[in-house]
Amino acid sequence: MKVLVTGGLGFIGSHTVVELQNKGLEVIIIDDLSNSSEKVLDGIFAITGKKPIFEKLDLKEKSEVEDFFKKHTDISGVIHFAASKAVGESVENPLLYYENNIGTLVYILKELSKKDKASFIFSSSCTVYGQADKMPITEDAPVKTAESPYGNTKQIGEEIISDTCKVTPSLNAIALRYFNPMGAHPSTEIGELPIGVPQNLVPYITQTGIGMREQLSVFGGDYPTEDGTCIRDYIHVVDLAKAHVIALQRLLEGKNDDNYEVFNLGTGTGSSVLEAIKSFEKVSEKKLNYKIVDRRAGDITAAYASTDKANNILGWKAASTLDEAMKSAWDWEVKIRK
């Protein structure tokens, strides 16, 4: 029984491959290497002693996807990470996002729908909630008009899966709505490798801390929050990875209540940008150079997860604190810049 991980050389994908292997599952990775590198395979091997099968493949090519599934008939589950994920880029180049994030999903679901039984885990995002009215955010909070094409691809992706599951009883799917993934594997063998200037807060903080960036710009100090900066739910990538394995096993073992389920993956705790900076300064014992500037277009004030459903139904709870996650991010930054 093999598990296919698309985008398995990426940030969350690679950490999930490690946890799948730790549970004795055989993994095959597809990645187009557009936002990752084959060197990540060495990092996975260094941690688990097992090198996953890897095939470079462009999921946008329907024939390549068909040929892959013809060749690998023993795939029982798919964890689908492969997607473009930069909010700003999606605004400038929406068609790239709709082709890469929606087209590829359709091709994979078509292949899985041919099987007698298939399990599918979808990488979704808290972005689907937009600015939710109530905190913490529960899974039944209304999905709001997306702030970006990236967020829209996650909403549309969930609808495509839900519609397909309704008419395909053999297909069992779970959408996992991540809050803000951060950090790196404690071994520092794998971690986040942003290409170019990081869009996300934590890699920008650690790159500023290591001296790669001059100063962190804090986007907005006048939000209606305690310290005026935005609040997010920062979750350690290893906690996130473990949740994927639990969700997949739930489907493989037929323990799901419905053939399409949705779970938030967060810590349940909100942290402001200034609190994230303070956490960095504590774990790194370095002063961070930052400046509060204007708000970033499209940012919401606050988002943190209700974790009751994941805790009670998946039996999963994030284990790491913000400081532990930030320490892992900093250790990784120090390691790769050596």
Q: What SS3 class is residue 80?
A: strand
- Measure the CA–CA gap between 217 and 250, rounded to whole angstroms: 42
Catalytic residue among 97, 107, 150, 178: 150
CB of 180 to ligand WQD, least distance (A): 5
Instruction: Count how many Cα atoms sit within 13 Å of the Cα of residue 227 in the half-sphere of its side chain.
Output: 15
Q: Please check whether residue 131 is in contact with residue 144, taking contact to mean a CB–CB distance below 8 angstroms.
A: yes
- Measure the CA–CA gap between 215 and 205, rounded to whole angstroms: 9
List residues binding ligand WQD (CB under 6 A).
85, 87, 125, 127, 178, 180, 199-201, 204, 216-219, 230, 232, 273, 296, 299
If the CB atoms of residues 218 and 243 are measured against ligand WQD, the closer one turns out to be: 218
If the CB atoms of residues 40 and 235 are measured against ligand WQD, the closer one turns out to be: 235
If the CB atoms of residues 59 and 265 are measured against ligand WQD, the closer one turns out to be: 265
Q: Please check whether residue 3 is in contact with residue 248, taking contact to mean a CB–CB distance below 8 angstroms.
A: yes
- Measure the CA–CA gap between 124 and 79, rounded to whole angstroms: 11
If the CB atoms of residues 14 and 125 are measured against ligand WQD, the closer one turns out to be: 125
CB of 299 to ligand WQD, least distance (A): 4
Q: Please check whether residue 193 is in contact with residue 11, taking contact to mean a CB–CB distance below 8 angstroms.
A: yes
CB of 316 to ligand WQD, least distance (A): 19
CB of 262 to ligand WQD, least distance (A): 15
Q: Give whole-number Cα distances, 290 to 43, 181, 215, 281, in Å.
A: 32, 22, 5, 12
Q: Please check whether residue 274 is in contact with residue 231, taking contact to mean a CB–CB distance below 8 angstroms.
A: no
Residue showing the smallest CB distance to ligand WQD in the complex: 230
Q: Cis omega before residue 194 (within 30°)?
A: no
Query: 150 an active-site residue?
Result: yes
- Measure the CA–CA gap between 99 and 76, rounded to whole angstroms: 26
Helical segments of the chain, H only: 11-22, 39-48, 62-71, 87-92, 94-98, 104-113, 149-167, 201-210, 237-252, 273-284, 308-309, 322-336
CB of 295 to ligand WQD, least distance (A): 7
If the CB atoms of residues 259 and 267 are measured against ligand WQD, the closer one turns out to be: 267
If the CB atoms of residues 101 and 180 are measured against ligand WQD, the closer one turns out to be: 180
CB of 97 to ligand WQD, least distance (A): 12
**Annotated active-site positions, please?**
150
